[in-house]
Amino acid sequence: MEKSGLASFYGGLKKVNTLCATVAGVVLLFITLSIFVDVFLRYVFGRPTIWITEISTYLFLYVIYLGTAYALQQGMHIKVTFLLNPFGPRSRRVIDLITSIFATFFTLILLWQTSVMTWVAFKGKWTSPTILNAPYVYIHVVIVFGTLLLLLSFICSTILQFTGEESEPGGGA
């Protein structure tokens, strides 16, 4: 069976999501190592850094938002499965479809609101009230990007699930 245009697009989107998840893993490794270095410097030399805690906090947003679409495509989002156990496969599919539609609308609202927040931060030249004075636009833009990837993934997987081109909610592997 030939893949539809949407299925091909989603295949490319899955590759982007995988790349973003890989970047998120590298960022998480950096956060872990930098916190280890900071703890070592603090307790061994009594001279902690002034930037690691703040940067790690901001980078954690990158880890979260770069990894959410990948988690969706792998079917790793949290599900309350014990509520679905009494239902048959057909009912579960309908419930999964309804859940995906609601999640798509939530993600659309999240994208809209985070875009507004990022635009206001950009126009207002917002910076963190700390010694680093980090521009918030660089912190917020990953939220918009990650939410956009999540929204596109929800839309694609929901449509493909509804049309029967994808059997598993979230797209599976």
Per-residue pLDDT band for 68 (boundaries 50, 70, 90) equals very high
- The larger pLDDT score, comparing residue 113 to residue 164, is at 113
Q: Say what the pLDDT of residue 172 is.
A: 43
Read off the pLDDT band of 50 (50, 70, 90): confident
How much is the pTM?
0.86
Report the C-alpha dihedral over residues 116, 117, 121, 127, rounded to 10 degrees: -170
- Which tops the pLDDT comparison, 62 or 81? 62
Tell me the three state secondary structure of residue 20: helix
Structure tokens at 83: 């509520």
- pLDDT tens per residue, range 69-110: 999 988 887 777 777 778 888 888 888 888 889 999 999 999
- 135 phi, psi to nearest 5 deg: -65, 125
Q: How confident is the model at residue 66 (pLDDT cuts 50, 70, 90)?
A: very high
What distance in Å separates the CA atoms of residue 135 and residue 17, rounded to the nearest whole number? 26
Q: Where are the beta strands (DSSP E) in the chain?
A: none
How many angstroms separate the CA atoms of 152 and 139, rounded?
Answer: 21
User: Closest Cα to residue 124, out of 135, 115, 132?
Assistant: 135
User: Please, which pLDDT band fits residue 10 given cuts at 50, 70 and 90?
Assistant: very high
